[in-house]
Chains A and B, each alone.
With several copies, the nearest count.
Chain A
Amino acid sequence: MDFQAQLQTFLARVTGDPAASIEELRRHTQGFSMETMSFVGNWREAGALQKRRLVLRRQPEAGLLEPYDLRPQVAAMRALQGVMQVPPLLWFEEDCAVLGAPFYVMGFVEGDVPLPMVAPGAELPIPDADTREALAGDLAENLVALHRFDWRGAALEIFAAPSGLRQAAQMQIDVWRGYYERSRPGPLPMLERAFRELDRRARAIAEHGQVSIVHGDFRTGNFLRKDAHVMAVLDWELVHLGDPMEDLAWACSRLWRGQTDLAGLLVPRARFLELYRQAGGGEIDVARVAFYDLLGAVKMAAIMLTGIRAFADARTDDVRMAIFAHQVDGLNMVIAESLGLVPSLNN
């Protein structure tokens, strides 16, 4: 049975309509991690014909964030419906027999995804400054809504809850040290140096403080927008409980600024922090943002090393993974900047 037929069988089962059908199935290959497809589903529900554009995300065989577990992102997206802009989550299937790997289906959300890349001398992905400012404000509001959400009242048992902010920091170091150690192709002095610094700085973080749901990959490139409105925050693979400063540092990281001084190619870093505070996000802890800024650069390296390893072990034929082998060189400069070894080019 081909993929389209398998998907139709699935749709018939979850909708209870044996005549359910799908059309316009398309594979989207932009992502580096989850496989993404879109299609139109037709089914009868309570006597009425439903015709709905849907998006399917399937666990990949190998990739940047392996090993994969879809349950946390599904739990988070379910818990956050109505709290902030997330895609409507319809169905989650863990059984690999259905489509070869676990997957979930979301309602299609209109909008475009601005990417955090700009070629030298080229126009910004969002050229109009007022639109960028308004979009950054809407993003900050979404982020505050996420961070203020009372996760203790939600069904989020799958998340490991740190006892406080120091433990949250140490848990994130452990997570990314794990990725690093499983995937590094040899000794990497810059990363060793960065981990030693992270350990030192984590010990200085106070334990008390608000633990929040942290998106984990909150940045330009991971949201859909229409004009100046955030339509949906996407890519919840890295969601966990932790320090809200982590999302802030990541959103403002050097990684998503191109050769500009604009966080996520939207607004200056200080302005994004200001928008977050204005939206009710509370005070910014500069030391913790700096800690997570360094952690972010290390995390990006660990993610790249995971992709390189999947390629090196021939678990994927996607040559895009191989380019990280030289891009890690560029990342070392970002780490060096976060470590204070080179002056910050723009802040």
Chain B
Amino acid sequence: MLDLDRIFSGMIRVLEDRVLPELTSGYARGQLHAVLELLENLQGRTVWGGPLLEGEAAMLDSLAAEAVAELGDPQDALAVRLRSFVADPPSLLTDRVQTGRALVCDLVAGGHADAGALAAMVDAYLTNDAVMKALGLKTSRLAEISQG
């Protein structure tokens, strides 16, 4: 996930260096300074979260639990990591999601999800997550961004 601090510092920099100098009215300048102060203080006081990420974390939890049951050899390194993830998931939401995603990547890369029940589970997670996140996107401003 992109570092949230970096997004804030990027927004602050462009607003301060490129947008502020073009403002002429005192009202707009005052409001932009307030936005800048807000962004500077949201930085460090906010973290990735919300229902989309919580939803993905929950899906990864169940996927990992089911994968533990499906994987044959309990001594397999991946099976060991999956069991540890199920038994003691990272407490920070972003860590939990990143660890879960890494496990799915390794299931796929290891060929465990090429066919059968595990393939269906992985595809169900990928599909549901993609659908939920796509629904959560706001209409893009790409046209305005490109045209200025």
User: Measuring CB to CB, which residues of chain A are less than 8 angstroms from any residue of chain B?
Assistant: 27, 29-30, 32, 115, 117-120, 185-190, 192-193, 196, 308, 311-312, 314, 317-320, 322-323, 325-327, 329-330, 332-333, 335-336, 341-342
Contact = CB atoms under 8 A, between A and B. Distances in A.
Contact of A187 (B10, B101, B139): B101
23 contacts: A29-B26, A30-B26, A30-B30, A115-B147, A118-B143, A189-B104, A189-B126, A193-B123, A193-B126, A196-B114, A312-B3, A317-B10, A318-B31, A318-B34, A319-B34, A319-B38, A320-B34, A322-B10, A323-B38, A323-B41, A325-B2, A336-B127, A342-B127
B131 interface: yes
Contact of B105 (A187, A322, A332): A187
Contacts of A333: 130-131, 134
B146 interface: yes
A285 to B, nearest CB: 25
Given A187-B101, A312-B3, A325-B7, A193 B41 contact: no
Contacts of B139: 119-120
B1 interface: yes
A120 B45 CA distance: 24
Contacts of A118: 143
Interface string B118-136: 0000110111011101101
A312 B126 contact: no
Given A189-B125, A342-B127, A329 B34 contact: no
Nearest to A32: B146
Nearest to B52: A329
A341 B123 CA distance: 7
A312 B2 contact: yes
Contacts of B123: 193, 341
A322 B42 CA distance: 11
Given A119-B139, A196-B114, A327-B137, 19 more contacts: A27-B27, A29-B30, A30-B26, A188-B105, A189-B126, A192-B104, A193-B113, A311-B2, A317-B13, A319-B14, A319-B31, A320-B30, A320-B31, A320-B34, A326-B137, A329-B133, A332-B134, A336-B127, A342-B127
Contacts of B122: 189, 193
A342 B98 contact: no
B102 interface: yes
B70 interface: no
Contacts of B142: 117, 323, 327
Contact of B2 (A30, A115, A185, A342): A185
B34 A322 contact: yes
B133 A332 contact: yes
A283 B113 CA distance: 35
B118 to A, nearest CB: 12
Interface string B25-36: 011001100110
- Name the residue among B3, B11, B45, B143 with the largest chain A CB count within 10 angstroms: B143
A330 B137 contact: yes
Interface in B1-60: 1-3, 6-7, 10-11, 13-14, 17, 26-27, 30-31, 34-35, 37-38, 41, 45
Pick the 6 closest A-B CB pairs, nearest first. Answer: A329-B133, A189-B104, A332-B130, A187-B102, A325-B2, A326-B41
A190 B133 CA distance: 13
Contacts of B143: 115, 117-119
B92 interface: no
Contacts of B133: 329-330, 332
B109 interface: yes
Nearest to B2: A325
B127 A196 contact: no
B130 to A, nearest CB: 4
A103 B122 CA distance: 46
Contacts of A186: 1, 98, 101-102
A336 B132 CA distance: 13
B134 to A, nearest CB: 4
Contacts of A115: 143, 146-147
Contacts of A188: 101, 105
Nearest to A200: B114
B108 interface: yes
B144 to A, nearest CB: 9
